[in-house]
Amino acid sequence: MILWGQNVLSEPPENLPIAEGKTEEEKAKINFFGRTIFKNRDLIFGIKDTDRRRHLWVIGKTGTGKSTLIANMAIDDMKKGRGVAIIDPHGDLSETILDYVPASRLNDVIYFNPIDRERPVRLNILEVKDPAQRELVVSGIVAIFNKLYGHSWGPRLEYILRNT
């Protein structure tokens, strides 16, 4: 029998990275984002940086805390002086995270919103530092357009895109 939404009274896993008993150096290598309560002990836990670099997959129904988890991880990163990049198609998450940017880092923030006409950010997708990479970049862009507009694709369109 599964009781969804009920508190679990079992002990947290032994290898769960918790803040309690860790040195500041050890804490710096853990991204803290949650709390667990077991036997009236409030434990802050997170994920080790080495595990986090192996990628995360955050899934769940609407309203289950996916954005909150990502926000808490980004906020912890900012507190530790790390860089953060957020791609947010809805805008809510990025707006939340902006409230937590340390004052000392506000000038480092690049908020790229393609529909913002008051503060446009220029982006040249063909700009490359190494001219030898130009053909590779063009091929990638042409492949994207081909995938998006393949139904009306032809040799003339490809010629125009490659030579513009």
> For the segment 13-69, what is each residue's pLDDT rounded down to a tens digit?
778 888 888 899 999 899 888 888 877 888 888 899 888 888 888 899 999 989 999
pLDDT at 61: 93
For 121-140, the pLDDT digits (tens) are 888 888 888 988 988 998 99
Number of domains in the chain: 1
Assigned domain for 87 exists: no
State yes or no: pLDDT of 7 exceeds 70.
no
Instruction: Round to whole Å and give the CA distance between 26 and 157.
Output: 56
State yes or no: pLDDT of 1 exceeds 70.
no
Q: Which domain holds residue 138?
A: 124-164
Assigned domain for 18 exists: no
Q: H or E segment at 147?
A: helix 134-149
List Cα–Cα distances, 59 to 70, 98, 114, in angstroms.
Answer: 11, 23, 27
pLDDT at 150: 87
Segments of 28-134 assigned E as strands: 30-38, 41-48
Assigned domain for 148 exists: yes
